[in-house]
Amino acid sequence: MAINIHFFRKNNLEKLDFNNVLDYFDTLPNFKTYYTNDMVEILYSDTEFSFTYRYLITKQSRVAKIYELNPLYSNVNFLLEMPVLIPSFLAKEILTVTQKICKIFDLDIYADTFDDVQPFNLVDVLVLYEQKLRETIEEHGLQGKIRYDSEKLNIVCKYQRFVDSLRDHYNNTIDVNYVIPIADDEAGISGMSYTWNLGRPAVFPPYIDYIYVEDNEGDRLLLTRDDFYKVMNKYFTEIKTFLPDLFIIKEKSARSSHRELKKLRKFDILNEYNMRSLRLSDVIEA
Residue 112 DSSP symbol: T
Q: What residue ranges of the chain have pLDDT lower than 50?
A: none
Q: What is the pLDDT of residue 216?
A: 81
Strands (E) in the chain, as ranges, are 2-10, 31-35, 39-46, 51-58, 73-83, 108-110, 146-148, 180-184, 189-197, 202-204, 210-214, 220-224, 237-238, 247-249, 276-277, 283-285
Q: What is the pLDDT of residue 179?
A: 98
Closest CA to 54 of 26, 27, 34: 34
The predicted model scores a pTM of 0.94
**CA–CA distance, 33 with 177 (Å, rounded to integer):** 29
Q: List the domain boundaries for the chain.
A: 2-140, 148-285
Q: What is the pLDDT of residue 14?
A: 95
Q: What is the pLDDT of residue 25?
A: 98
